[in-house]
Amino acid sequence: MFSYNLGDGAELRPLEERYADELFALTDRNRDHLRQWLGWVDIKPNPAATSGFLRGAMLQWAENNGFQAGIWFNGSIAGVVGHNRIDWGNRATELGYWLGAEFQGHGLMTRACHAMIDYAFAVQQLQRVVIHCAVDNARSRAIPERLGFTQEGVLRQAEWLHDHFVDLAVYSMLREEWGRPETEDRTETQRRRDRVTR
């Protein structure tokens, strides 16, 4: 089994169909938590839909269009991070992510995104990684901000969520910015602040 160690009991594994039961159970008990920010939670909420998502993820990888990774924490599946697709012509990608409510607050998604971004620049040789967050989704916005992304602007009414549109903040990281001292400093400064305030 391939896995990437994120430290402190956390790991990333490429998602495969054999994880369907675990992933469905996580999604199913978190529907209320996820509904506020994710539009897909009520579309076919059944195990077959989770299997379909996982088959799609394997196809995405086979077509060289990025991948979906599961985040495991102390042996339990905690959430998902993945590429929406890869724009090879412009060497760019966008990351999407979610965690079960009970797995928030451990830095799992920040660490998972850090690993995905390392991979994007070092292995996939991409130029640009983008994260879109609804402007009122403070926990989601904190992730690119913690990682030193630059906010480029706001796309007005860019995402339909169940019964209303939301504005999306656009964050980007460029290849030459990643790992620069000022980016690392911002991450470390935030970590120090997190330690002091906890």
Ligand X SMILES: CC(C)(COP(=O)(O)OP(=O)(O)OC[C@H]1O[C@@H](n2cnc3c(N)ncnc32)[C@H](O)[C@@H]1OP(=O)(O)O)[C@@H](O)C(=O)NCCC(=O)NCCS
Residues near ligand X (CB under 6 A), total: 21
137 binds ligand X (CB under 6 A): yes
Residue 157's nearest CA partner among 184, 135, 179 is 135
How far is residue 53's CA from residue 42's CA, in Å, rounded to a whole number?
14
- State in angstroms the smallest separation of the CB of 110 from ligand X: 3
Q: Is 76 an interacting residue with respect to ligand X (CB under 6 A)?
A: no
Which of 6, 15, 38, 57 binds ligand X (CB under 6 A)? It is: 38
Which residue, 63 or 136, is less far from ligand X as judged by CB? 136
List 42, 102, 185, 194, residue binding ligand X (CB under 6 A) = 194
Inter-helix orientation angle 108-122/138-146, to 10°: 50
12 sits near ligand X (criterion: CB under 6 A): no
Among 37, 61, 130, 174, binds ligand X (CB under 6 A): 37
Cα 129 from Cα 171, distance rounded (Å)? 8
Alpha-carbon dihedral sign for residues 33, 129, 115, 51 = positive
Least Å distance, CB 175 to ligand X, is 22
Verify binding: residue 143, ligand X, rule CB under 6 A: yes
179 touches ligand X (CB under 6 A): no
Question: Which residues have C-beta within 8 Å of that of residue 196, sequence separation ≥ 6?
Answer: none
Task: Give the range of 40-48, 54-62, 107-115, 173-181 binding ligand X by CB under 6 A.
Answer: 107-115
Binding site for ligand X (CB under 6 A): 34, 37-38, 97-99, 104-110, 133, 137, 139-140, 143, 146, 191, 194
